[in-house]
Amino acid sequence: MTTITAAMVKDLRETTGAGMMDCKQALTENSGEMQAAIDWLRKKGLSKAAKKAGRVAAEGLIGAVTSGRKGVVVEVNSETDFVARNGQFQGLVKMIAQVALDVGADLEKILAAKVGAVTVATAIADAIATIGENMTLRRAALLEVSKGIVSSYVHNAVIEGAGKMGVIVALESTGKTDELAVLGKQLAMHVAAANPQALDPSGLDPAVVKREKDVLADKYRQQGKPENVIEKIVESGLKTFYKEVCLLEQASVHGEHNGKAISQVLKEAEGKIGAPVKITGFVRYALGEGIDRQETDFAAEVAAASGQKKPPGDAATTS
């Protein structure tokens, strides 16, 4: 039988917004499987959201650089946030992003690229030796258009072009570059805030759509709805789901747009820009998303270092 830990319950509660006891029951019913527990809560109507942004974090920085019709975003990880605030590390991230803008998003090509007399891989190794902490180039993405612009936005920037989250958005258009840049910045900020999963429903993973349909159907089946009614409700529910996760169908987060769908915002912007505008792609990197970080038991570490057993209960002692 799977042991349900307090940390597991806490993670599920933060992800779904459900009550602590409901989260514990969901994990127990689903052998500790997080995604299954999320779906279980949703079927019971106890979850506030299908999925929130991953809360597991790794340290480091996201770098984003654009140049006209091309832009890149990279993630470089470090072991601690202290290093992420180090000037040498920040310079390293910006340098790597600039190299990726020149050579593309292939990690091997980036690492092999020369910066002066050394490769990027050597520069990373030198930084590790100097700072005394492991660092890795985790991922990179590049967007490019034949006509138009690629815009970027860095959230929680610690220096220009590097922070805890980076977004690039590619806009294809023959219109005015300055107006495109304004729109592109707004869209990049929207992507950072709304975290769309795809440009439109056709870009969604079929498995994600199927799971959503199954969750909706099971939820209303448990309420005793007849199958013919369930089918209609599910289709309606999917439309709502698409508005939540597809960029073109999401409501703009910018107040000046009055909650209009992004597709409508694009259409209305064409007047100022002077030509049709099409989003050809976007990339959103949030620092550490998808990385499992091992939780540290400081009391156990200190006890181990001193050759003692970990004290029972709270690590603190009282007299």
pLDDT of 177:
94
The three-state DSSP-derived secondary structure of the chain is CCCCCHHHHHHHHHHHCCCHHHHHHHHHHCCCCHHHHHHHHHHCCCCCCCCCCCCCCCEEEEEEEEECCEEEEEEEEECCHHHHCCHHHHHHHHHHHHHHHHHCCCHHHHHHCEECCEEHHHHHHHHHHHHCCCEEEEEEEEEECCCEEEEEEEEEEEECCEEEEEEEEEEECCCCHHHHHHHHHHHHHHHHHHCCCECCHHHCCHHHHHHHHHHHHHHHHHCCCCHHHHHHHHHHHHHHHHHHHEHHHCECCCHHHCCCEHHHHHHHHHHHHCCCCEEEEEEEEECCCCCCCCCCCHHHHHHHHCCCCCCCCCCCCCC
pLDDT of 298:
43
pLDDT band at residue 313 using 50, 70 and 90 as cut-offs: very low
pLDDT of 51:
41
CATH number of 1-51: 1.10.8.10
pLDDT tens digit string along 62-109? 999 999 999 999 999 988 888 888 999 999 999 999 999 999 999 999
Q: Is the dihedral of CA 291, 297, 302, 305 positive or negative?
A: negative
pLDDT of 40:
86
CATH number of 59-197+278-286: 3.30.479.20
Q: What angle in degrees, to the nearest 10, is found between the helix axes of 227-245 and 206-222?
A: 130
- The radius of gyration computed from the CA coordinates of the chain, to the nearest angstrom, equals 23
**Rounded Cα distance, 288 and 295, in Å:** 14
- 312 pLDDT above the threshold of 80: no
pLDDT band at residue 306 using 50, 70 and 90 as cut-offs: very low
| CB burial string 295-311: b at 16+ within 10 A, e below | eeeeeeeeeeeeeeeee
Tell me, yes or no, if the two domains 1-51 and 59-197+278-286 fold the same way. Answer: no
**Rounded Cα distance, 87 and 130, in Å:** 12
pLDDT tens digit string along 5-62? 988 888 887 777 777 788 888 999 999 998 888 888 878 776 654 443 333 336 899 9
pLDDT of 317:
36
For residues 252-271, average pLDDT: 90
pLDDT of 302:
46
pLDDT band at residue 226 using 50, 70 and 90 as cut-offs: confident
pLDDT of 293:
57
pLDDT of 296:
46
- 263 pLDDT above the threshold of 50: yes
- 200 pLDDT above the threshold of 80: yes
Instruction: Indicate the average pLDDT of the chain.
Output: 85
- 285 pLDDT above the threshold of 80: yes
For residues 232-249, average pLDDT: 91
For residues 283-300, average pLDDT: 70
Per domain, the residue ranges of the chain are 1-51, 59-197+278-286
pLDDT tens digit string along 119-161? 999 999 888 888 888 888 999 999 999 999 999 999 989 999 9
pLDDT tens digit string along 247-261? 999 999 987 887 899
pLDDT of 292:
62
